[in-house]
Structure 1
């Protein structure tokens, strides 16, 4: 009789606690704090806010806690304490986050992916925007003194580790290390300035990365990553630009699949706004802007690959194409750089060393600088610097027109034609044009 009673109690406890709260991870960033609850199975939950003092209360139905609150690493200025409280019903678990200020939380579950199982993600955006980095007020830059701004995007971060190597090194740490080195090199170059989309180990929504670059008025966006495939054999760096069509190659498909998993971390998604003006005119301007952005991206990527090929192994000697969100900004040339294969044991070991990270960063920097020395944007310090013989030259690339080249260098089409004794507006790929002084 006693054994039957014990079995009954065990069955009751399993049914009452069909889920487990296994750990709590906190990821503070400049504009929000993200909390991740690792669960044994898909969470069933409710939540509400309390004021005076500010608290977020999360009720997890049929859940048992296995977390020691004292062991949680909390570097967030928003969360002051984590505790439990009396649950609303037997078998449920009530979790309380004490906060410094009120927030409008966003909660969403995530299914298992990579090394993580079921999760409940809680985003707490800072209502006090003084916490977030504010744009620096800048005076009008005199003509010829404008800096070339390069936005550097360290791939992944926070809850999104990216690829994980055989020795358990994470892509997100490698990309941040290389990005910091690259930013340091760019900031030391007169006439150039770097801005990072993330400066620490936290997640940034994929669409927000381009928005950070746009707010900084970036001339270029470089997204730094480390490749991974199931086969440990492939090695070498590669450079990716936006494809006009959906990429169908195996590697591109893998990248896009990985990106979709990252997009889930953005929460419920974002509403795409539409302009109130003429939709056909808007689409035309967007198409023209995208064509220019893609042409510039491809040209810059060739310079980067050339520089990287001198110091590191290349996986592909030509730019690859894929349809990735971080490359889709219509107004900023955008390039994704795979520093190497973290899935290859030898290359994984290289990627975590400071020496190799510096090699990659220096090669990317040299490639970018080489391009802008040959194609300085109008009004920048580089454009005002004297060139050999007092004349600049431009080699026509795919997708470029005479009007586009004239706009880039700040001269009129008629002057560009006259300077090069052109009889028509037609230019051919590979044609070298002399650029008259502005």
Structure 2
């Protein structure tokens, strides 16, 4: 096992004037997100394998732009974004995992290569290569495609460990990865997974998500999945 710590960035979705989804009894998503994020940080910080960062550590509003700037400024090995789902169908429940869709990432890659607006961010190493080869569009496209393929494999592998722990501890909405066009997931310098921890619009799940016990249960499941994945990887 390497002596270098693995840096995990925990992103608690919403916050401040943005409550996120709201349950039938008034539970706000932002409060669940930060509670789980803080507990997950506590668990990871007590493990010598990890170093953790939070995009927010209180009930503050952070725009997507600022969250992405945070990603660019810090050397991170993995992004875990914590959210709570919602649905017009009150019976829908369970946790789910999301990664960036191929179409969204390919669009970001193509936009960057063509020097159009892009939300992408990547490591300083890749940035240095691009700076030295500004006019080599083929090289840029090739490097970014390879980087994306590598990150996607990591996300696939890690998701198996998260599903394994979630099956033991909480209900799953789907036992498969979902793909989305979400800006927080477009950073190609690190693997990124968004976790919807349940449906706040489901009466029973809203009640569970409001308790410290269940929030800690989710955080513990995420922690164990990260621990097991990185132990296996190294």
Q: Deviations over 1:180-213 (max 9, x none)?
A: 0000000101121111011111222224324323
Shift in Å, 1:320: 1.4
CA distance in 2, matches of 1:211, 1:366: 28
3-state DSSP of counterpart to 2:194: strand
Q: Which residue of 1 aligns with 2:214?
A: 356
Q: Which residue of 2 aligns with 1:314?
A: 172
Pair 1:195-2:53 in alignment: yes
Do the aligned partners of residues 214 and 309 (structure 1) sit closer, same or farther apart at CA in structure 2, a change above 3 Å counting?
Answer: farther
Contact map agreement 1:182 1:361 (CA 8 A) in 2: yes
Judging by fraction of residues, say which structure has more helix.
Answer: 2
The match for 1:285 among 117, 127, 143 is 143
Q: Which runs of 5+ in 1 are unaligned?
A: 1-142, 247-270, 377-438
Give the number of equivalent residue pairs. Answer: 210
Q: Which runs of 5+ in 2 are unaligned?
A: 105-116, 121-129
Shift in Å, 1:215: 2.7
CA distance in 2, matches of 1:338, 1:177: 14
Pair 1:152-2:10 in alignment: yes
Off by >4 Å, runs of 4+ in structure 1: 271-276
Contact map agreement 1:290 1:329 (CA 8 A) in 2: no
Shift in Å, 1:273: 8.8
3-state DSSP of counterpart to 1:332: coil
Aligned residues: CA RMSD: 1.9
Q: Which residue of 1 aligns with 2:76?
A: 218
CA distance in 2, matches of 1:230, 1:154: 23
Pair 1:162-2:20 in alignment: yes
Q: Which of these two proteins has the greater Rg computed from alpha carbons? A: 1
Q: How does 1:299-338 map to 2 (within 5 A)?
A: 299-338=157-196
CA distance in 2, matches of 1:352, 1:302: 27
Higher relative contact order (CA 8 A, sep 6+): 2
Q: Deviations over 1:330-376 (max 9, x none)?
A: 11000000110001011001101000000000001111111101113
Q: How does 1:106-125 map to 2 (within 5 A)?
A: none
Shift in Å, 1:272: 4.5
CA distance in 2, matches of 1:242, 1:367: 20
TM-score (norm 2): 0.84
TM-score (norm 1): 0.46
CA distance in 1, matches of 2:31, 2:57: 11
Contact map agreement 2:9 2:76 (CA 8 A) in 1: yes
Contact map agreement 2:95 2:195 (CA 8 A) in 1: yes
Judging by fraction of residues, say which structure has more strand.
Answer: 1
Contact map agreement 2:36 2:215 (CA 8 A) in 1: yes
